[in-house]
Amino acid sequence: MALRFPVPKATTSLSTDLMTHFTRYFSAYLDPSIIAIKFKQLLDLCYLEVSRQPEKDGAIIKTQEEISLDGLEAPEEPALDYLRSNEAALKFCDEYDWIIISDLFPENIANKIAKEWERPGGKLDQKRSNFNEEL
């Protein structure tokens, strides 16, 4: 098991399963080796725990992937209110957000998403325009 953030087993933590959300909204993009995605909230730390099974009947590999904390709350003590608030913020992310903050999508798919969003007049320009209109 590869751990980016070694955490003692006795550490208080909360988690929520995001796999259903990713399967529902991002199945066309998601790396097929991913079998589980959980959002973990610990003391002053939030991350994704991603389980992959690269080959059928192969060993499951768990990684801890750092995610941007902009908009997420990392309380001094994990609390269910913060977990639910952070879960909602993560579920608000679109495919472009996810290619920026994670490697959940294969590189070739991430590149296609980036090209679509970043081209002149693309989704990123449209999103910026909508944001500026709201101001």
Mean of the pLDDT values across residues 89-116? 94
In the predicted structure, residue 84 carries a pLDDT above the cut 80: yes
Domain regions of the chain by residue span: 14-134
Where does residue 13 rank: exposed (0-12), middle (13-18), buried (19+ CB within 10 A)? middle
Paired with 63 in beta bridges are 50
**Of 135 and 12, the one with more pLDDT:** 12
Mapped onto helix, strand or coil, the DSSP state of residue 48 is strand
Describe the crossing of helices 123-134 and 107-118 by its angle, rounded to 10 degrees: 50
E-assigned strand segments in the chain = 14-17, 34-42, 45-52, 61-66
Put simply, whether the predicted model's pTM sits higher than 0.95 gets the answer: no
